Structure 1
Amino acid sequence: MPQAKLTLSIPEKTWIGDLSRSYSEARVRIVAALAGEASGVGLAEISSPNLPDLIGEMTAYDEVTDVDLLQEYENEALIQFETTMPLLLFAVQDSGVPLEMPFDIVDGEAEWTLTAPQDRLSQLGEQLDAFGVSYTVDYVQQTIESGQLLTDHQLELVRTAVEVGYYDTPRTSSLTELAETLDIAKSTCSETLHRAEEKIVKQYLDEISSMPEQ
């Protein structure tokens, strides 16, 4: 399934865009968010050397109807807020694309990583255009859902092989050492690893062949 990374430029005169541009050194990490028909609620981790001023200015926006400071430590705070203008959520909710959390907003720009069918990503692009949110596509790539592709035992073996350097060039761990690390027979290790590699390679080639030609 396609995975895309977008960098969105939040329109001028939008409260979250203006706030993050005013405090360009700050990072607003949206941890959770929920939009209704006319408002939205969000949970945000905010880090800034001017945190008190930022929070004070945030509460002053007419579009921000409620701000609760849940935790604060030095230059970081966890805040729950409610707004009548959750622009980014409005833009995504009609596209059928699930918005992956968390995502960061820095200096008026948000970075999204999305996994959805190509037609849904196209619908999202149309929604962003309709709401006046300009964006760039950093990449679109096919993903291999290895957690579903492999059994738990195969996935553990492949992960361990990567961690100990079995796939490094030059190789820093032998098949014998890999088997010893997992406390399994060398023959079992070899056969299990081969079956996992076969699944991964075939799935990868299937995904590549299904991609439209550039």
Structure 2
Amino acid sequence: MTQARLTVTLPEHIWIGDVSRKHPEAVFKIMTAVPDSGAAFALLKLQTSEPDALIESIDSHEEITELSIIQQTAQEVTIQVETVSPPLLHLSAQASGMPIEFPVEIADGQATVDVTGSHERLSELASQLRNFDLDFNIEYIQERLHTTQLLSETQQELVLKAVELGYYDTPRDCSLTDVAEAAGIAKSTCSETLHRAEETMIKHFIDDIPTPIESERRISAPE
């Protein structure tokens, strides 16, 4: 399973791109969105020090046909909007079969998009973004393995037992001897089994931390 994060530059004349560039300090979080034929509906949380000005800018944009304020505080507003055109990000996701994870965060015309799926779907998403003339950068790509693929059954059971007893709490609620007794094994066996499991998980975590250069090398998408 491939996980990726992309930064997508929203084009001009798209309402959320225009408004977020006009208010670069504001953070837009798309909680959910439903494309429709010739329209779209979205629920957003807006984080800003000037909520009234931001709402006015959104409501006055030509693409917005309806705006409702769901909840408002001094620095956060939840709104529902209807627009005249479906969001290009979601059209790209639909066309590629790669669902976008919510919330999608947008600031100053840049959308941070997280996706999870096969490498082939990710490549297709990249192609669809290009088809819709959406510029993007790949922040990272990483392959995720399920824990059952990392640890043996014995290691999994012992790690779960140790967590349950509070061995990994700070401060610890039990000792290594307590874990060994609860598992019905010798303390030395318990220590070695936990150490090997910890080594596997830590090394996998370190190897799983991508760099932008590695990410660019690991994706191949047709132009």
Task: Compute the displacement of 1:90 (Å).
Answer: 1.8
For residue 181 of structure 1, report the CA deviation from its aligned partner.
7.5
Match of 2:17 in 1: 17
Secondary structure of 2:127's aligned partner: helix
Change (3 A) 1:69 1:116: same
3-state SS of the aligned residue for 1:127? helix
User: AA paired with 1:10?
Assistant: L
What secondary structure sits across from 1:25 in the alignment?
coil
Mark the CA change 1:52 to 1:178 in structure 2 (over 3 Å): closer, same or farther.
farther
CA contact (8 A) 2:9 2:110 kept: yes
Query: Structure 1: which 5+ runs fail to align?
Result: 166-171
Letter in 1 for 2:175: E
- Please give the secondary structure, in 1, of the residue aligned with 2:25: coil
**How much has 1:37 moved relative to structure 2?**
2.7
Change in 2 beyond 3 A, CA 1:4/1:179: farther
Please show how residues 31-110 of structure 1 align to structure 2 within 5 Å: 31-85=31-85, 86-110=87-111
Structure 2 CA distance, aligned partners of 1:25 and 1:182? Answer: 53
Q: Tell me by how many angstroms 1:184 deviates.
A: 2.8
TM-score normalised according to structure 2 size = 0.73
Aligned to 1:164: 169
State the 1:157 CA deviation: 4.2
Paired with 2:186 and 2:33, the residues of 1 have a C-alpha distance of: 46
> TM-score when scaled to structure 1?
0.76
Does residue 134 (structure 1) correspond to residue 143 (structure 2)? The answer is no
Contact 2:167 2:179 in 1 (8 A): no
Q: Are 2:167 and 2:176, in contact at CA under 8 Å, matched by a contact in 1?
A: no
State how 1:176-195 maps to structure 2 within 5 Å.
177=175, 180=178, 184-185=182-183, 187=185, 190=190
CA separation in 2, counterparts of 1:61 and 1:14? 9
Classify the secondary structure of the residue corresponding to 2:133.
Answer: coil
Q: Which amino acid aligns with 2:119?
A: Q
The alignment yields a C-alpha RMSD, in angstroms, of 3.7
Structure 2 stretches of 5 or more lacking a match? Answer: 209-216, 219-223
Distance of 2:18 and 2:148 partners within structure 1: 40
Cα shift readout 1:55-81 (whole Å, capped 9, x = no counterpart): 011011121111110000111111111
Cα distance change of structure 1 residues 184 and 95 upon mapping to structure 2, 3 Å threshold:
same
Whole-Å Cα distance in 2 between the matches of residues 149 and 67 of structure 1? 48
Q: Secondary structure at the match of 1:42?
A: strand
Query: Does the aligned pair in 2 maintain the 1:68–1:81 contact within 8 Å?
Result: yes
Which residue of structure 2 aligns with residue 124 of structure 1?
125
Distance 1:10 1:184, change over 3 A: same
Secondary structure of the residue that 2:100 maps to in structure 1? coil
Aligned to 1:169: none
Give the Cα separation in 1 of the matches to 2:105 and 2:57. Answer: 19
Compared CA separation, residues 164 and 12, structure 1 to 2 (3 A): same
| Matched residue type, 2:88 | L
Q: Report deviation, 1:13.
A: 2.2
Name the CA shift for 1:130/1:52 in 2 (closer, same or farther; >3 Å): same
Residue correspondences, number? 198
